[in-house]
Amino acid sequence: MLIIMNAQANQKQIDAIVKRADALGLQAHLSQGAERTVIGVIGDTRPVVRGQFQRMAGVREVVPITKPYKLASREFQPQDTAFSIDGFRVGGPQIVIIAGPCSVESRSQIVETAHAVREAGAHALRGGAFKPRTSPYSFQGLGVAGLELLAEAREETGLPIVTEVMAPEKVELVAQYADVLQIGARNMQNYPLLHAVGESRHPVLLKRGLSSTLDELLMSAEYILSHGNRRVMLCERGIRTYETATRNTTDINAIPVLKSRTHLPVILDPSHSTGHWEYVAAVARAGVAAGADGLIIEVHPDPAQALSDGAQSLKPERFAKLVQQIAAIAQAIGRGLVTPAPLPVM
Ligand code: PEP
Ligand code: MN
């Protein structure tokens, strides 16, 4: 439930609410705005409990949160969540672009790609070191060696790193290298993993499951938020439908729906949602026009030789052209691209 305080409510009255919530075994989250204070209370908030709060001094209104997800809901937090990742802001008015190969393959591959995407205007580098592959015989990623190469690419370009973590016991290790922990589509409902990244306090990019509803995605985000980790971005990466012309079907609807239901930033992955490089730019442009706060795009210097997802990877030149188009669309809808950080001094 939300406890909306009177504009004149004083600190003592606010403290009393938090204390009462504590005494009832409920969690209180304070949001002190310029005009009014709203206290989100999570736990067993049946009508009799709501009534108790309603009668307390300074309370204007007690509103139940109707959604099954609480901390993730717009009801709980009307204003957008925005946070910084190593100097750039996600979830604000400006759009972020994360780019890089599907997998880290070698030093030259990741460093070359990092320089190329950085020059094109990307804000962060993606690259998988632990890869969730459909076949156990496919390339599984370089593991720790891949994380070390990502660290080198970061050192050279200054780009923060987005990389996937697949198992709860690997969260600590991956978090030593990653600026953002990616939860892949196949792990969206891996609850021990969600608990572990919630505990880590690292920013998280949570991808929508292959056949998950938006409410299920939001419930998974709720797991992470419920541990006190508020730096969560959601990622639409296409869903399984009857259509076979593309690898997945981009659910463009998800963008405005999520933006209305949650305050969390929404990122679109047009690479996995289409599965073909020829369609990536069109869908990326559509996503930004639809209100996405950012894009995550696969880029490879030599897609034909890529060890994973080459078919959907853009060559650096095509990616650079796309960034220009995204900048124009962002401007047309009253937004812009986040200004890239300066190159590190070597
Ligand atoms: C990826 O980002 O390379 C990936 C495996 O994505 P998804 O989990 O969305 O399939
Ligand atoms: Mn991929």
Does any domain span residue 149?
yes
pLDDT at res. 211: 96
Task: Let me know whether 11 and 123 are in one domain.
Answer: no
**Domain count along the chain:** 2
Atom 10 of ligand 1, residue of closest alpha carbon: 185
**Residue 34 reports pLDDT greater than 80:** no
Domain with 285 in it: 83-337
In a domain, 74, yes or no: no
For position 189, which CATH number holds? 3.20.20.70
CA 199 to centroid of ligand 1, rounded, Å: 22
Q: Is the pLDDT of residue 346 over 80?
A: no
Which tens digit of pLDDT belongs to each residue from 288-320? 999 999 999 999 999 999 999 999 999 999 999
The response to whether residue 188 sits with its C-beta less than 6 Å from ligand 1 reads no
Q: What separation in Å is there between the alpha carbon of 280 and the centre of ligand 1?
A: 15
Three-state secondary structure call for residue 267: strand
Closest CA to 188 of 226, 229, 146, 132: 132
Atom of ligand 1 nearest to the CA of 296: 2
Residue with the smallest CA separation from ligand 1 atom 8 is 184
- Report which residue type is found at 134: T
In this structure, is residue 70 part of a structural domain?
A: no
Q: How buried is residue 140: exposed, middle or buried, by Cβ count under 10 Å (0-12/13-18/19+)?
A: middle
Q: Closest Cα to atom 3, ligand 1: which residue?
A: 102
Dist. CA 103–CA 129, nearest whole Å: 6
Q: Which of 103, 182, 193, 217 to mutate to test the pocket of ligand 1 (most atoms within 8 A of CB)?
A: 182
Instruction: Compute the distance from residue 102 Cα to the ligand 2 centre, in Å.
Output: 4
User: Do both 258 and 157 map to the same domain?
Assistant: yes
Q: Is residue 72 domain-resident?
A: no
231 CA to centre of own chain: 8
CA dist list (Å): 269 to 287, 313, 330, 331: 9, 12, 17, 20
Where residue 17 sits, what CATH number does that domain have? 3.30.70.1140
Does ligand 1 lie within 6 Å of residue 230's CB atom? no
Question: Is the model's pLDDT at 35 over the cut of 90?
Answer: no
| In a shared domain, residues 196 and 98 | yes
**Coil, helix or strand at residue 289:** helix
Q: Looking at the structure, do residues 179 and 149 belong to the same domain, yes or no?
A: yes
Residue labelled with tokens 């030093």: 107
Per residue in 153-174, is it b (16+ CB within 10 Å) or e — as a string?
bbebbbbbbbbbbbebebbebb
Q: Could you read off the pLDDT of 183-222 as tens digits, one per residue?
A: 999 999 999 999 999 999 899 999 999 999 999 999 999 9
Do 122 and 258 share a structural domain?
yes
Task: Let me know whether 26 and 169 are in one domain.
Answer: no
Nearest to 294, CA basis, from 322, 268, 333: 268
What's residue 101's pLDDT? Answer: 98
Q: Is the CB of 121 under 6 A from ligand 1?
A: no
- Give tens-digit pLDDT for 81-127: 999 998 789 999 999 999 999 999 999 999 999 999 999 999 999 99
What distances in angstroms separate CA 180 from CA 33, 64, 119, 205, one per listed residue?
A: 28, 33, 21, 7
pLDDT of residue 329: 98
- Tell whether ligand 1 has an atom less than 6 A from the beta carbon of residue 132: yes
Say yes or no to pLDDT of 33 above 90.
no
Per-residue model confidence as pLDDT tens digits over 271-296? 999 999 999 999 999 999 999 999 99
208 within 8 A of 233, measured Cβ to Cβ: no
Note whether 134 and 110 are within 8 A (CB): no
Closest ligand (CA of 183): 1
195 and 303 assigned to the same domain: yes
185 pocket-lining for ligand 1 (C-beta < 6 Å): yes
Task: Specify the pLDDT at position 45.
Answer: 81
Residues lining ligand 2 (ion), CB within 5 A? 102, 309
Per-residue pLDDT tens over the stretch 256-269: 999 999 999 999 99
Beta carbon of 301 within 6 Å of any ligand 1 atom: no
pLDDT at 341 over 80: no
Contacts of 294 (CB under 8 A, 6+ apart): 90, 95, 96, 97, 98, 233, 265, 266, 267, 268
* pLDDT for residue 201: 87
Q: Is the CB of 240 under 6 A from ligand 1?
A: no
pLDDT (0 to 100) of residue 214: 98
Q: Please check whether residues 139 and 210 belong to one and the same domain.
A: yes
Please report the pLDDT score of residue 313 as a whole number: 98
Can you give the pTM of this predicted structure?
A: 0.93
Question: What pLDDT, on a 0 to 100 scale, did the predictor assign at position 112?
Answer: 98
Band of the pLDDT at 53, cuts 50, 70, 90?
very high
pLDDT at 342 over 80: no
Highest-pLDDT range among 1-10, 12-21, 33-42: 12-21
Q: What is the pLDDT of residues 323-340, one digit of tens each?
A: 999 999 999 999 999 998
